[in-house]
């Protein structure tokens, strides 16, 4: 039978695609960086309110598909609290919610979010708490 030859061919094909994938990954090494590393623009090792709010507004504009400056029911991500409970989140409300969340996460109150604080906030969120 030709199973051996077929296996060799399959392996060669797999190896080829693996190499291609590895090369593609080299171009995108940021997958391993933490949230804080990505958002920390001034390199002080934590995310201050301004860095966080910049990130929040970038995220807002990504979610605002029709670019009308507010998130409607179809654009609000699942689990996001709607402050006014009116089915619409304007940027201002989004930013305010972010600031509150930031203050909540900054458990040592130094005005800057360390990775440990982000992790703690995520763990609390996963448990359904605030
Ligand atoms: Ca910083
Ligand atoms: Ca919108
Ligand atoms: Ca802090």
How confident is the model over 64-82, as pLDDT tens digits?
Answer: 999 999 999 999 998 888 8
Q: Point out the ligand nearest to the CA of residue 36.
A: 1
User: Helix (H) and strand (E) counts for the chain?
Assistant: 5, 4
Look up residue 53 and give its two tokens.
């709010």
Most confidently modeled of 12-16, 30-34, 106-110, 124-128?
Answer: 106-110
The CATH number of 34-126 is 1.10.238.10
Q: What is the dihedral of CA 64, 106, 44, 27, to 10 degrees?
A: -40
More confident residue, 41 or 8: 41
Residues 6+ apart with CB under 8 A from 66: 75
Average pLDDT of span 24-47: 80
Q: What is the pTM of this model?
A: 0.66
Cα 3 to ligand 3 centre (Å): 60
pLDDT of residue 23: 55
Cα 68 to ligand 2 centre (Å): 5
Q: Give the distance from CA 126 to its chain's centroid.
A: 15
């Amino acid at each position: 039978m030709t199973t051996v030859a077929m296996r060799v061919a399959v392996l060669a094909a797999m190896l080829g695609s693996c190499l291609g994938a590895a090369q593609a990954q080299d171009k995108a090494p940021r997958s391993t960086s933490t949230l804080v590393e990505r958002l920390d623009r001034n390199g002080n090792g934590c995310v201050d309110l301004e860095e966080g709010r910049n990130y929040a507004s970038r995220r807002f504009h990504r979610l605002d598909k029709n670019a009308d400056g507010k998130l409607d029911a179809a654009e609000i991500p699942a689990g996001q609290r709607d402050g006014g409970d009116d089915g619409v989140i304007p940027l201002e409300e989004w930013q305010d919610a972010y600031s509150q969340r930031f203050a909540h996460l900054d458990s040592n109150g130094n005005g800057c979010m360390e990775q440990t604080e982000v992790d703690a906030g995520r763990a609390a969120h996963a448990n359904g708490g605030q």
